Structure 1
Amino acid sequence: MIFEELGIFEPILRALKAKNYTEPTPIQAKSIPLILEGNDLLGVAQTGTGKTAAFAIPIIQKIQKLITNGRGRPKIKALIITPTRELAIQIDDNIKGYSKNTDVKHAVIFGGVPQGKQVNQLKQGVHILVATPGRLLDLISQKHINLDAIKIFVLDEADRMLDMGFIHDIKKLLKILPTKRQSLFFSATMPSNIVQLSRTILDNPKRVEVSPESTTAETIKQYLYYTNKNDKKDLLIHILKDQKIKQVLVFSRTKHGADKIARNLKKHKIEAAAIHGDKAQNQRQKALTQFKASQIRVLVATDIAARGIDIDKLQYVINYDIPNIPETYVHRIGRSGRAGEEGVALSLCEPEENVYVRDIEKLIKKKIDVVRDQPYIQTDKPMNASQRKDAEKEKQRKKQEFFANRKKQQGGSSKRAPKAKGTGKKINRRR
């Protein structure tokens, strides 16, 4: 199948040809005709399946037809909600590319940055607005955004939206939106709470489902390092001694872990930065921009922050922590070896993660090559249930001891300034 068979009009086809898009992905082939027909849609698809184009292309086409005879300042006709700033920016970039031969105006808004530029763009008028929930509701409350003219509503990455605690924001938003609209709902998974949410948004929807990726690209070489937990940081330094690895995306399970990895790399004179949900938007964008420009050699990311990262010709990916969900491994290493390019995926496995490797190999139906010629071979044994319980207790004990000692030190070293009589205010000793 080719894009010309999906009912897409010529201005968008020209834009797709400029991007060297020839054949639609399964989610695009199934979704685009249904959306163009005006159906509500329930899409079950992960990031990386091409779903942004699946909803962006028909939205641009439908809006272009709506505004052909329109006059005055553009009003928001389509609203796309997504959980992270990176995804919002990526969606807006894609819309920019697909709509370049049309009159459709678009904008993206997200938190973590001053709102001035975003508000100025909104004042000029837009047809398609991509937004994260918090900033959207904030600007609505300030009367900078009016959603009365909305014709199409998209909720993207719904499961991640709920994981990040946006359910109350979504419910507030649904009360503001016009009831008469076309709604598109996308989620990688469909647990009961997501199913329930979809029922409050969609009206007699068509369902489109794309199976999660279970195979890895043949162009990606996969290698596994069995090591001990305490040796991982040294093993990573050892691997990065290879100067052929000029740009690498490292995955960490936690935000704290990402920061710790980046600090250790910088201590060893390796340019690195971490991105995750606790970083300010300008910090995340700066790190990503520097990484793309090869000013930073290593970018350490959590899975949530990595959504929306799309780097051309990225060759190396390292799993510092093995994911406990096999599909996540497939998605992570798929960041490399894109568009037929060669990629290399390296995974550092501590004893407790051995079971995750077995699950991954079962999913991808192949054994990952083990690197045995390395100085940090795994010697520790995985803990049993009782040992894990004891280890967790010891971890909590040390944590409590640490904070108790810190509180004690702070209390002993800092003296409160006396209060002036009758004022309730502290006396300023400085003159």
Structure 2
Amino acid sequence: MCISAVTIQRQTLLFSATIPDEVHKICDVALKLDHEFINTVQEGLEETNSQVRQMHIAAPLGNHFSILYTLLKEHIKDDANYKVLVFCTTAMVTRFIADLLMKLNLNVREIHSRKPQSYRNKISDEFRKSKGLVLVTSDVSARGVDYPDITLVLQIGVPADRQQYIHRLGRTGRKGKEGRGILLLAPWEEFFLSSIKDLPITKASEPMVDSDSRKQVERALSRVDAKVKGTAYGSWLGYYNSNKNVRRDKNRLVMLANEYSRSMGLDNPPAIAKKNLRKMGLQNIPGLRSE
């Protein structure tokens, strides 16, 4: 640890945009017991920008990709200078959704932790300077980046926690400009809303998806490589297996994962390596295929 490498006689300053429990633990290790704490956020100040309109939509998993496509098309039609961030739960889900949207002929870039840093720097710089672009991303874009003029932040699935939701949303509505945030959940994911019930988020009806858009999404899904779908399925399963609200019922978790598999246009769920099933504690759960 860095602290053990420096002398006891030192001056230590710690700065953090937020003060979660993890930061408090660092304070206990790195700072004096009588350290001074300075909070630059005024008491009662809203956690999310009042300029950002927040809404959530609850819809079955099987409708999510068509809804996503419809929301993006409507936003692009309404704003020629659109600049959209689509947040996904994991890197492999990000890759899958980016691939799907590209096959739907949207102007899309992707960025996540599985991409080399040089590639991520290049895409970040392009997105920062561009308009008329959709960036599909994992949480690597949730903090520590400044993308000007974001018109919409769209989050698909349950964020890791309340703070992650707020950080993602904070990419829009910056420097006095208006922004918009949409959280797309399945009905069984609405438990997350209790953690943000004090925020000004409203419930929106499931948007109407015309038959032509639905057919376009189905065709695009059929053209996404099966390996990309397979890694997204395994990654999705692992992510929700780490959520205490979902993992407590392993049989239900597998049922939901297989619903996600069908939503990708697969007749059968992809096989998962036995060692990965063991790590997740899912090796004996019916409905999973192993390899």
CA offset digits 1:164-214 (Å, max 9, x no partner): xxxxxxx0x3343344332112453453x6545433322342122457975
Q: Distance in 2 between matches of 1:205 and 1:355?
A: 38
Partner in structure 2 of residue 227 of structure 1: 59
Partner in structure 2 of residue 206 of structure 1: 36
AA in 2 matched with 1:222? Q
Partner in structure 2 of residue 284 of structure 1: 120
Partner in structure 2 of residue 381 of structure 1: none
Contact 1:226–1:349 (CA under 8 A) maintained in structure 2: yes
Structure 2, unmatched stretches of 5+, are 211-244, 259-267, 275-291
Q: Measured at CA, do residues 309 and 386 of structure 1 come closer, stay the same or move farther in structure 2, by a change above 3 Å?
A: closer
Contact 2:54–2:201 (CA under 8 A) maintained in structure 1: no
1:200-279 correspondence to structure 2 within 5 Å: 200-203=29-32, 204-209=34-39, 210=41, 214-242=46-74, 243=76, 244-245=78-79, 246-279=82-115
Q: Distance in 2 between matches of 1:342 and 1:389?
A: 42
Q: Distance in 1 between matches of 2:175 and 2:181?
A: 16
Partner in structure 1 of residue 250 of structure 2: 389
AA in 1 matched with 2:204? V
Q: Distance in 2 between matches of 1:261 and 1:391?
A: 24
State TM-score, norm by structure 2: 0.64
AA in 2 matched with 1:257? V
Task: Output the aligned Cα RMSD.
Answer: 3.2
Q: Distance in 2 between matches of 1:276 and 1:290?
A: 15
Q: What displacement does 1:247 show?
A: 1.1
CA offset digits 1:306-350 (Å, max 9, x no partner): 211212222211112242533433332222111221111122121
Contact 1:215–1:363 (CA under 8 A) maintained in structure 2: no
Q: Measured at CA, do residues 304 and 340 of structure 1 come closer, stay the same or move farther in structure 2, by a change above 3 Å?
A: same
Q: Which residue of 370, 375, 389 corresponds with 2:204? A: 370
Displaced runs of 4 or more, over 6 A: 384-387
Partner in structure 1 of residue 137 of structure 2: 301
Q: Distance in 2 between matches of 1:251 and 1:403?
A: 27
Matched position secondary structure for 2:94:
helix
State TM-score, norm by structure 1: 0.45
AA in 1 matched with 2:28? R
Partner in structure 2 of residue 91 of structure 1: none
Matched position secondary structure for 1:274:
strand
Structure 1, unmatched stretches of 5+, are 1-170, 377-383, 405-431
Q: What displacement does 1:277 show?
A: 2.4
Partner in structure 1 of residue 176 of structure 2: 340
Matched position secondary structure for 2:164:
helix
Quick one: higher RCO (CA 8 Å, sep 6+), 1 or 2? 2
Q: Measured at CA, do residues 235 and 212 of structure 1 come closer, stay the same or move farther in structure 2, by a change above 3 Å?
A: farther
Contact 1:326–1:359 (CA under 8 A) maintained in structure 2: yes
CA offset digits 1:238-268 (Å, max 9, x no partner): 1121223521011112122211111111111
Greater Rg, structure 1 or structure 2?
1
Q: What displacement does 1:230 show?
A: 2.4
Alignment: residue pair count:
222
Q: Measured at CA, do residues 345 and 196 of structure 1 come closer, stay the same or move farther in structure 2, by a change above 3 Å?
A: closer
